[in-house]
Structure 1
Amino acid sequence: MSASNTAGTAILGAGLFAKEAHLPALQILGPLAPKLRAVYSRSEKSARELAAQATTLLKTTPDVYFDGNPSLNLDALLARSDISSVIIILPITQQPSIVLKALAAGKHVLSEKPVAPDVASGAKLIAQYEAQYKPKGLVWRVAENFEAEPGFIAAGRAITAGKIGKITFFSSRTVNFIDKDSKWYKTPWRTVPDYQGGFLLDGGVHSVAALRVILPSEMTHMSGFASLNKEWLAPHDTINTIIKNADGSHGIFELSFAAPSPSRSDAGRGIVITGTDGWLEVQQTLARDLIRNVEKPIFRVTIKSATRDADGVLGPEKEEVIDEPIRGVELEQASFFAALDGKDDGLGSPLGTLKDVAVIEAALTSGGELIDLEKLISQS
Structure 2
Amino acid sequence: MRKIRLGIVGCGIAAKELHWPILKELRDKFEITAVNSRTRKHAEEFAKLVGSPEIFDTYEELLDSGVIEAVDLTIPIELNVQFTEKAILKNIHVICEKPISTDVETGKILVNLAKQTDKVIYIAENWRHIKKYYKVKEVLSKIGKPLYFNWKIWIGMDRNNKYAQTEWRKTPKHIGGFLSDGGVHHVAAMRLIFGDIKWVSAITKKHASFLGGPDFLEAVFEFENQVVGNYTVSYAIKSEETFEVIGTIGKIKLEGNKIIVNDEIIEVEENMGYKEEFEDFYEIILGVRKNELGSPEEALKDLAFFEAALKSNGDRIDLTSLL
Instruction: Settle same-fold status: TM greater than 0.5.
Output: yes
Computed over aligned residues only, the root mean square deviation of the Cα atoms, in angstroms, reads 1.5
User: Match of 1:322, as an amino acid?
Assistant: E
Deviation at 1:7, TM superposition (A): 4.1
- TM-score, with structure 2 as normaliser: 0.95
Query: In the alignment, is the contact (CA less than 8 A) between 1:172 and 1:207 conserved in 2?
Result: no
- TM-score, with structure 1 as normaliser: 0.81
**Structure 1 residues 79-228: aligned runs within 5 Å:** 79-131=64-116, 133=117, 137-159=118-140, 162-215=141-194, 217-228=195-206
Q: 1: CA distance between counterparts of 2:272 and 2:201?
A: 32
User: Which of these two proteins has the greater Rg computed from alpha carbons?
Assistant: 1
Counterpart residue number, 1:369:
315
Instruction: Confirm or deny that 1:357 pairs with 2:309.
Output: no
Deviation at 1:278, TM superposition (A): 2.3
Question: 3-state DSSP class of the match of 1:30?
Answer: coil
Deviation at 1:337, TM superposition (A): 0.6
Alignment equivalent of 1:75, drawn from 46, 52, 60: 60
Counterpart residue number, 1:25:
22
Q: Deviations over 1:109-138 (max 9, x none)?
A: 11100011111111132113313x2xxx21
Query: In the alignment, is the contact (CA less than 8 A) between 1:300 and 1:324 conserved in 2?
Result: no
Instruction: Confirm or deny that 1:64 pairs with 2:9.
Output: no
Question: Closer, same or farther in 2 for the Cα pair 1:107/1:270, shift >3 Å?
Answer: farther
Structure 1 stretches of at least 4 aligned residues deviating more than 3 Å after TM superposition: none
Question: Closer, same or farther in 2 for the Cα pair 1:234/1:6, shift >3 Å?
Answer: closer
Question: 3-state DSSP class of the match of 2:96?
Answer: strand
Counterpart residue number, 1:70:
none
Query: In the alignment, is the contact (CA less than 8 A) between 2:178 and 2:213 conserved in 1?
Result: no
Query: In the alignment, is the contact (CA less than 8 A) between 2:101 and 2:174 conserved in 1?
Result: no
Q: 2: CA distance between counterparts of 1:79 and 1:242?
A: 48
User: Match of 2:288, as an amino acid?
Assistant: K
Counterpart residue number, 1:307:
none
User: Match of 2:12, as an amino acid?
Assistant: G
Question: Closer, same or farther in 2 for the Cα pair 1:369/1:334, shift >3 Å?
Answer: same
Question: 3-state DSSP class of the match of 2:11?
Answer: coil
Counterpart residue number, 1:278:
250
Q: 1: CA distance between counterparts of 2:255 and 2:33?
A: 38
Q: Deviations over 1:39-62 (max 9, x none)?
A: 11020011111112212xxxxx21
Deviation at 1:218, TM superposition (A): 1.8
**Structure 1 residues 258-277: aligned runs within 5 Å:** 258-259=236-237, 264-265=238-239, 267=240, 269-277=241-249
Query: In the alignment, is the contact (CA less than 8 A) between 1:38 and 1:64 conserved in 2?
Result: yes
User: Match of 1:342, as an amino acid?
Assistant: G
Deviation at 1:254, TM superposition (A): 0.9
Q: Deviations over 1:155-209 (max 9, x none)?
A: 22222xx222221000111111112211111111112212221111110111111
Query: In the alignment, is the contact (CA less than 8 A) between 1:145 and 1:328 conserved in 2?
Result: yes
Comparing 357-366 and 75-84, the one that deviates more: 75-84
Counterpart residue number, 1:311:
none
Question: 3-state DSSP class of the match of 2:149?
Answer: strand
Deviation at 1:281, TM superposition (A): 2.3
Query: How many aligned positions are there?
Result: 322
Instruction: Confirm or deny that 1:325 pairs with 2:270.
Output: yes
Q: 2: CA distance between counterparts of 1:246 and 1:273?
A: 16
Query: In the alignment, is the contact (CA less than 8 A) between 2:221 and 2:230 conserved in 1?
Result: yes
Question: Closer, same or farther in 2 for the Cα pair 1:270/1:105, shift >3 Å?
Answer: farther
Counterpart residue number, 1:312:
none
Counterpart residue number, 1:334:
279
Q: 1: CA distance between counterparts of 2:115 and 2:218?
A: 34
Deviation at 1:149, TM superposition (A): 0.9
Question: 3-state DSSP class of the match of 1:242?
Answer: strand
Alignment equivalent of 2:214, drawn from 233, 236, 252: 236
Q: 2: CA distance between counterparts of 1:6 and 1:53?
A: 19
Deviation at 1:25, TM superposition (A): 0.8
User: Match of 2:98, as an amino acid?
Assistant: K
Q: 1: CA distance between counterparts of 2:283 and 2:265?
A: 32
Q: 1: CA distance between counterparts of 2:242 and 2:39?
A: 38
Runs (5+) with no aligned partner, structure 1: 56-60, 67-72, 285-298, 305-316
Q: 2: CA distance between counterparts of 1:35 and 1:208?
A: 32
Question: 3-state DSSP class of the match of 2:222?
Answer: strand
**Matched-pair identity in %:** 31
Q: 2: CA distance between counterparts of 1:94 and 1:43?
A: 16
Question: 3-state DSSP class of the match of 1:231?
Answer: coil
Q: 1: CA distance between counterparts of 2:143 and 2:67?
A: 50
Question: 3-state DSSP class of the match of 1:351?
Answer: helix
User: Match of 1:271, as an amino acid?
Assistant: F
Q: 1: CA distance between counterparts of 2:71 and 2:136?
A: 31
